[in-house]
């Protein structure tokens, strides 16, 4: 008999029907009740076994973690907790588990423990939900941009340019690092390396993305990015996924509008398409909140928070306005900030961003027009010649979720900024070329996918929203 997924079975149950399901045993109680899950939904199907009808040795093989095929009749359930169940007519244990060694017991495990068994954690309710939501959000990214006529572009993962300056890079090499070829003056001879010069893993697809936007008008990238910063925080990964749209003929306002529309679309998409999994995570977050001291608890539940973001405009504030707010804020005056804000030009730390979002405005904030010298070379210089047309979208509990800008499209201005920042112009010859041949105003931004997934799932640590996190000192699995 053809197998049916549990999600489909529960959506459309026909009583009296013969069904076959396959999945993994979550629990087996009283030699009678199997809770089976196949990952299609958070809900298990209960299968009821009349143990007298089956071989004892076979029954013994039904243990937590074992995989099974179950065939039987779908009937109304008399027990609490489920509407229907399967009356087992036949079963087969496909893969035995080893009950004494199987690390996932039917009890609550800490997230820290589950990180150590990342190869098995997808079998828990929480991680099953996160994997499914992550998938829905990936689909939503493509749906959003596809519907708007954007072209998805694959930008290189191995890059020969390290000019973006977004962070420390991971070197890619096939040279024998114990014994590398040397030039006459004793330095490592990179011309002998695989590509004939030094290469790294990309920190962003933006610069290559821009070249595509200057031909196709609206493009987006959605790829892995790598940063070798030693940031051991709950918001940083060394390998993460980034969505980078780039639009010709967009100025900063258009860019901020698109960023806001995009994030709201993603949140609404999740609310619409992931209701069951979000309810599970909402309850999880509420339970976790109860373990915290009163003053650290969230003002809103997860679902409430998502609805709030979907329904309300983000606050738009210039960097200059933000500095005034921060300078006069209580934590600044009482010296509670680790980094005190004394003057215009200071770089904002996450404590400042979170104050603005969580305490002052109490909603997502788009900050724009930052000082030129704390932002990347490619951002467009404003008329005041002090600020650039940069923007960051800041989210409650997360901090920066999006960074972007209008790009410097003027050849001479771009060239002089490259020089002023000490970057080798020769490396960027192809990027500068785009400003010589039909340059146009254009803009773009980058959304950190895991930070978005973190916000939507309410998970406190970014390591829990990607299947196999890479962080300093950790590349297990
Ligand atoms: O602000 P960032 O560094 O911007 C860029 O890379 C630009 N090239 C984007 C563009 O304009 N096309 O990174 C963009 C976003 C951040 O706002 C953050 O959400 C995420 O990427 N991000 C990280 N996420 C997880 N771990 C890290 N180490 C991250 N670094 C940045
Ligand atoms: Mg940034």
Q: Whose CA is nearest to atom 25 of ligand 1?
A: 236
Distances (CA, A) of 390 to 262, 387, 402, 474: 18, 8, 11, 33
Rounded to an integer, the average pLDDT of 137-165 is 93
- At 378 the pLDDT is 97
403 lines ligand 1 (CB under 6 A): yes
Token pair, residue 261, equals 């529309």
Closest CA to 456 of 245, 252, 207, 278: 278
Mean pLDDT of the chain: 95
Contact 445, 244 (CB under 8 A): yes
Contact 310, 267 (CB under 8 A): yes
What CATH code would you report for 6-107? 2.40.50.140
Rounded to an integer, the average pLDDT of 130-137 is 98
- Looking at the predicted structure, is the pLDDT value of residue 46 above 90? yes
Testing ligand 1's pocket by substitution, the residue of 448, 452, 455 carrying the most ligand atoms inside 8 A of its CB is 448
Distance 400 CA to ligand 2 centre (A): 7
Query: Residue holding tokens 């590509």?
Result: 195
Pairing status of strand 158-159 against strand 199-201: antiparallel
Query: Residue holding tokens 């196949």?
Result: 38
Q: In whole angstroms, what is the distance from residue 26 CA to residue 36 CA?
A: 6
List the beta bridge partners of residue 151: 219
- At 477 the pLDDT is 94
Ligand 1 atom with least separation from CA of 207? 8
Strand, coil or helix: what is 225? Answer: strand
What CATH code would you report for 123-168+203-464? 3.30.930.10
Render pLDDT for 353-402 as a digit per residue (tens, 0 to 9).
999 999 999 999 999 999 999 999 999 999 999 999 999 999 999 999 99
Q: Comparing 6-107 with 123-168+203-464, is the CATH topology the same?
A: no
- At 1 the pLDDT is 81
Q: In whole angstroms, what is the distance from residue 149 CA to residue 105 CA?
A: 48
Domain boundaries, the chain: 6-107, 123-168+203-464
Q: In whole angstroms, what is the distance from residue 458 CA to residue 467 CA?
A: 16
Render pLDDT for 208-249 as a digit per residue (tens, 0 to 9).
999 999 999 999 999 999 999 888 999 999 999 999 999 999
- Looking at the predicted structure, is the pLDDT value of residue 98 above 80? yes
Rounded to an integer, the average pLDDT of 94-105 is 94
* Rg for the chain, CA atoms, rounded: 27
Q: In whole angstroms, what is the distance from residue 113 CA to residue 3 CA?
A: 33
- At 90 the pLDDT is 97
Distances (CA, A) of 344 to 190, 274, 277, 324, 347: 43, 43, 44, 8, 9
Q: Whose CA is nearest to atom 17 of ligand 1?
A: 402
- At 296 the pLDDT is 82
Contact 265, 241 (CB under 8 A): no
- Looking at the predicted structure, is the pLDDT value of residue 44 above 80? yes
Closest CA to 97 of 123, 71, 118: 123
Contact 414, 378 (CB under 8 A): yes
Query: Residue holding tokens 């500095």?
Result: 323
450 lines ligand 1 (CB under 6 A): yes
- CA end-to-end distance (rounded Å), the chain: 36
Closest CA to 227 of 204, 258, 207: 204
Distances (CA, A) of 56 to 50, 52, 98, 233: 11, 8, 17, 51
- Looking at the predicted structure, is the pLDDT value of residue 165 above 80? no
Closest CA to 23 of 79, 89, 78, 91: 91
Distance 359 CA to ligand 1 centre (A): 24
206 lines ligand 1 (CB under 6 A): yes
Buried/exposed code over 375-404 (b: 16+ C-beta within 10 A; e: otherwise) = bbbbbbbbeeeebbbbbbbbbbbbbbbbbb
Backbone angles phi, psi at 111, to 5 degrees: -60, -35
Of the pLDDT bands very low, low, confident and very high (cuts 50, 70, 90), residue 166 is: low
Strand, coil or helix: what is 468? Answer: coil
Ligand 1 atom with least separation from CA of 229? 28
Q: In whole angstroms, what is the distance from residue 62 CA to residue 48 CA?
A: 12
Q: What is the pTM of this model?
A: 0.96
Contact 42, 280 (CB under 8 A): yes
Contact 60, 74 (CB under 8 A): no
Ligand nearest to the CA of 446: 1
- Looking at the predicted structure, is the pLDDT value of residue 27 above 70? yes
């Amino acid at each position: 008999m053809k197998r049916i997924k549990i999600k489909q079975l529960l959506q459309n149950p026909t009583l009296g029907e013969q069904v076959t399901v396959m999945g993994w045993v979550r629990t087996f109680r009283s030699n009678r009740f199997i809770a089976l899950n196949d990952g299609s939904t958070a809900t298990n199907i209960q299968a009821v076994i009349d143990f007298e009808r089956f071989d004892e040795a076979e029954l013994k093989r039904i243990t937590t973690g074992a995989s099974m095929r179950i065939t039987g009749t779908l009937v109304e359930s008399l027990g609490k907790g489920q509407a229907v169940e399967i009356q087992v007519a036949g079963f087969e244990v496909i893969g035995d588990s080893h009950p004494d060694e199987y690390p996932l017991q039917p009890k609550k495990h800490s997230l820290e423990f589950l990180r150590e068994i990342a190869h098995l954690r997808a079998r828990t309710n929480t991680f099953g939900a996160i994997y499914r939501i992550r998938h829905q959000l990936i689909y939503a990214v493509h749906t959003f941009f596809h519907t708007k006529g954007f072209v998805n572009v694959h930008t290189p993962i191995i890059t020969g340019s390290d000019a973006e300056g977004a962070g420390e890079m991971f070197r890619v090499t096939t040279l024998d690092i114990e014994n590398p070829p040397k030039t006459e003056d004793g330095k490592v001879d990179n011309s002998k390396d695989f590509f004939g010069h030094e290469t790294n893993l990309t920190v962003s697809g933006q610069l290559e993305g821009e070249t595509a936007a200057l031909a196709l008008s609206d493009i987006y990238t959605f790829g892995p990015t790598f940063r070798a910063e030693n940031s051991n925080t709950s918001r940083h990964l060394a390998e993460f996924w980034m969505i980078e749209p780039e639009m010709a003929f967009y100025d900063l306002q258009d860019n901020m509008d698109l960023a806001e529309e995009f994030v709201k679309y993603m949140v609404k998409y999740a609310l619409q398409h992931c209701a069951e999994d979000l309810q599970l995570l909402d309850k999880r977050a509420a339970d976790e909140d109860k373990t915290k001291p009163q003053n650290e608890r969230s003002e809103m539940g997860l679902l409430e928070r998502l609805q709030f973001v979907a329904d309300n405009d983000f606050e738009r504030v210039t960097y200059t306005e933000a500095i005034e707010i921060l300078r006069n804020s209580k934590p600044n005056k009482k010296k509670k900030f680790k980094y005190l804000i004394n003057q215009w030009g200071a770089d904002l730390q996450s404590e400042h961003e979170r104050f603005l979002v969580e305490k002052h405005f109490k909603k997502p904030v788009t900050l724009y027009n930052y000082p030129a010298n704390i932002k990347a070379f490619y951002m467009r210089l404003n008329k005041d010649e002090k600020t650039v047309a940069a923007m960051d979208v800041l989210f409650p509990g997360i901090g920066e979720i999006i960074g972007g800008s209008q790009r410097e499209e003027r050849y001479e201005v771009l060239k002089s900024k490259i020089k002023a920042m000490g970057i080798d112009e020769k490396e960027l010859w192809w990027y500068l070329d785009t400003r010589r041949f039909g340059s146009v105003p254009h803009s773009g931004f980058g959304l950190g996918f895991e930070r978005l997934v973190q916000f939507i799932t309410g998970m406190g640590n970014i390591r829990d929203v990607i299947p196999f996190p890479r962080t300093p000192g950790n590349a297990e699995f």
